[in-house]
């Protein structure tokens, strides 16, 4: 039985019929997929493929003498995974990781799950012990299929060398199509050393997957569906677009912006959707949700027609689904994944399809029927919300406020820089106070909330977008997680800019302990105070490594930091009591939002608090 799908390109590939090792086949498929950067750490079980990368580069030098397939070596495999994720998020292309068996593979579990949770396409190539040794507890053996199968979009264990080429091509197809995600290929060492014919094409017969994908692709908006949508929009006086990361993943930013502009519909985005709407636009409400802007959350409370685009009503946005958008008479939902429809919140209208095309079709239908909408009253209401409930903080404090630091960086970045973060308070401050004029400028661990993401993601993003200013906004606790990657940045001469907002502890955990645990600082008021981050950065080769601890020096120091030609490191000693506000407690609705001392609240919050079993 033929296990491969026929491919027209088989006879057109210049190397079709050539005899290659399995490792050479792996690398040739990477080249065919136009992979220019591989992040990984070597080891015994993956050595044949690492050698094949070396030989490929040696034989295909670019005119400037550089390698066409850069092999980037991090401090550890988790760093490699997050670098590939940063590369993929910043470029829209598939990131590639190559690691050895056992601990090499298991160290990538967290990045794989992180990419799955945020719909990021990467391919992880793992070496494995020889086929005959699988299951014998051989040296550096791990059950990668069992481990990764639970966290990846798909996992392949290659035991038939004649299927290796097709498996490689299929992995890239699965990673980038539909709802993107991570795909893992586990390749035993004997499969890498096998010799056979290179086909030059073909893929595995994933009939079920391709059938489901074709159904989504073929599911175009009908005139009847468009008519029903516009009927709801016609009845609405306060429509609101709620845009998620699916807009960016689906390359649907431009049609969504055109649709919003055509009818003057305000846009609020999720944490993962930042950049889908230009945050400097008057009708942009920035971010909604647990730590969203107060004016965005109030707009959600007030809207009468909610249009969810590439968003999934997750618990950080709809903590109390039944009371989310309570005044919305209608809710519409666009997505590529049918499982998201009605999963959390019932909707009145939905469409599962290719978002970019669907939004273009929807707007074309509106133009064809001459649909018009006047929302002047709603626009005035939005402007008033943004004015009265604007983001703010204690600007007279003698201590350095983290918000002031980010505002200073933002003025220089101008909404055009790539911003990465770790996870914690600094992540939310960055989300709240940075502007993003384009998509793929905001890279953060959203659903998984993985500390240590920011630095390696910045490195991956810098490789993907070498001409962009890339800034990692990190916290002292998050920076410790993958601090070894400081040396990776300097080794490769990457001009990444790293800001560590140091409040000597796990700030977000402390904030929750103050609010909900009567100030009992269990394990969060760090005893780890001896790290000298500046000397650490200097030891890792940073020629610009400074500590900022005087409020008066913020503007000049940050200007010098951003202007420095090369990698730069800045530790900022911030107010340890600075909090993240607004805040909507887990499981609570927006009318219970806490705005803190410096952001105006519309209604006094109730005394409802989450119980001890609520999600963090």
For 289, 422, 458, 533, the CA distances from 499, given in Å and listed in that order, are: 25, 11, 12, 11
Active site residue 140: yes
Give the C-alpha separation, 56 to 70, whole Å.
11
Contacts for 615 with CB less than 8 Å, ≥ 6 apart: 315, 586, 587
**Cα(443)–Cα(115) distance, rounded to whole angstroms?**
12
CB 22 within 8 A of CB 167: no
The reply to whether 305 belongs to the active site is no
Joined tokens for residue 364? 């074309």
592 is catalytic: no
> Pick the catalytic residue: 77, 301, 407, 485?
77
User: 413: alpha, beta or left, given left = phi > 0 and alpha = psi -120 to 50?
Assistant: alpha
CB 311, CB 447: distance < 8 Å: no
Choice among 140, 373, 438, 448 that is catalytic: 140
Q: Which of 189, 386, 497, 592 is an active site residue?
A: 189
Q: Which of 55, 79, 81 is nearest to 68 (CA)?
A: 55
Which of 305, 343, 301, 308 is CA-nearest to residue 326?
A: 301
The DSSP result for 199-242, as a single string, is -S--B---HHHHHHHHHHHH-PPPHHHHHHHHHHHHH-SSEEEE
Count of other CB atoms within 10 angstroms of residue 592:
20
Contact (CB, 8 A) for 32 and 12: no
Catalytic residue among 232, 272, 287, 508: 508
- Residue 77 annotated to the active site: yes
Residues noted as catalytic: 77, 139-140, 189, 508
């Amino acid at each position: 039985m033929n296990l491969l799908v026929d491919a027209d390109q088989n006879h057109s590939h210049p190397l079709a019929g050539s005899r290659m090792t399995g490792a050479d086949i792996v690398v040739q498929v990477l080249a065919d997929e136009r992979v220019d950067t591989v992040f990984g750490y070597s080891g015994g079980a993956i050595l044949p493929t690492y050698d094949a990368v070396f030989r490929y580069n040696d034989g295909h030098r670019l005119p400037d003498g550089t390698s066409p397939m850069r092999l980037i070596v991090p401090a550890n495999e988790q760093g490699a995974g997050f670098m590939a994720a940063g590369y993929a998020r910043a470029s829209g292309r598939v990131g590639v990781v190559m690691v050895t068996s056992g601990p090499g593979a298991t160290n990538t579990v967290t990045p794989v799950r992180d990419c799955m949770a945020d719909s990021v396409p990467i391919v992880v190539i793992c070496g494995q012990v020889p086929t005959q040794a699988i299951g014998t507890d051989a040296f550096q053996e791990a059950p990668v299929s069992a481990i990764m199968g639970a966290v990846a979009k798909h996992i392949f264990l290659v035991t038939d060398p004649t299927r290796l080429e097709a498996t490689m091509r299929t992995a890239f197809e699965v990673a980038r199509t539909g709802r993107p995600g991570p795909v893992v290929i586990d390749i035993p060492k004997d499969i890498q050393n096998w010799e056979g014919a290179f086909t030059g094409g073909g893929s595995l017969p994933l009939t079920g997957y391709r059938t489901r994908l074709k159904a989504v692709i073929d599911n175009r908006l009908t005139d009847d569906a468009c008519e029903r949508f516009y009927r709801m929009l016609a009845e609405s006086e306060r429509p609101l677009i709620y845009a998620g990361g699916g807009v960016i993943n689906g390359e649907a930013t431009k049609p969504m912006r055109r649709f919003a502009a055509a009818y003057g519909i305000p846009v609020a985005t999720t944490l993962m959707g930042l950049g889908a709407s230009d945050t400097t636009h008057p009708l942009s409400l920035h971010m909604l949700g647990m730590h969203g802007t107060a004016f965005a959350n109030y707009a959600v409370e007030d809207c009468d027609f909610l249009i969810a685009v590439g968003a999934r009503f997750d618990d950080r946005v709809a903590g109390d689904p039944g009371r989310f958008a309570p005044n919305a008479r209608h809710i519409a939902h666009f997505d590529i994944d049918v499982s998201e429809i009605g999963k959390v919140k019932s909707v009145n209208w939905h469409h599962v399809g290719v978002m970019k095309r669907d939004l273009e079709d929807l707007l074309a239908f509106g133009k064809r029927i001459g649909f018009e909408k006047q929302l002047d009253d709603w626009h005035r209401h939005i402007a008033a919300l943004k004015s009265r409930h604007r983001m703010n903080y204690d600007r007279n404090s003698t201590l350095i406020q983290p918000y002031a630091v980010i505002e200073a960086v933002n003025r220089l970045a101008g909404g055009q820089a790539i911003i990465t973060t770790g996870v914690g308070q600094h992540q939310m401050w960055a989300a709240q106070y940075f502007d993003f004029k384009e998509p793929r400028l905001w890279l953060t661990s959203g659903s998984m909330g993985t500390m240590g993401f920011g630095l390696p993601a910045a490195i991956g993003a810098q490789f993907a977008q070498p001409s962009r200013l890339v800034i990692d906004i990190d916290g002292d606790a998050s920076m410790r997680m993958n601090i070894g990657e400081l040396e990776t940045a300097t080794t490769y001469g990457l001009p990444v800019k790293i800001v560590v907002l140091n409040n000597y502890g796990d700030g977000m955990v402390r904030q929750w302990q103050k609010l909900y645990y009567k100030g009992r600082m269990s394990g969060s008021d760090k005893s780890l105070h001896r790290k000298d981050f500046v000397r650490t950065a200097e030891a890792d080769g940073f020629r610009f490594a400074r500590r900022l601890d005087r409020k008066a020096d913020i503007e000049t120091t940050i200007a010098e930091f951003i202007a420095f030609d090369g990698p730069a490191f800045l530790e900022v000693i911030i107010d340890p009591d600075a909090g993240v506000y607004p805040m909507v407690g887990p499981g609570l609705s927006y009318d219970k939002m806490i705005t803190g001392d410096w952001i105006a609240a519309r209604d006094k919050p109730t005394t409802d608090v989450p119980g001890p079993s609520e999600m963090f």
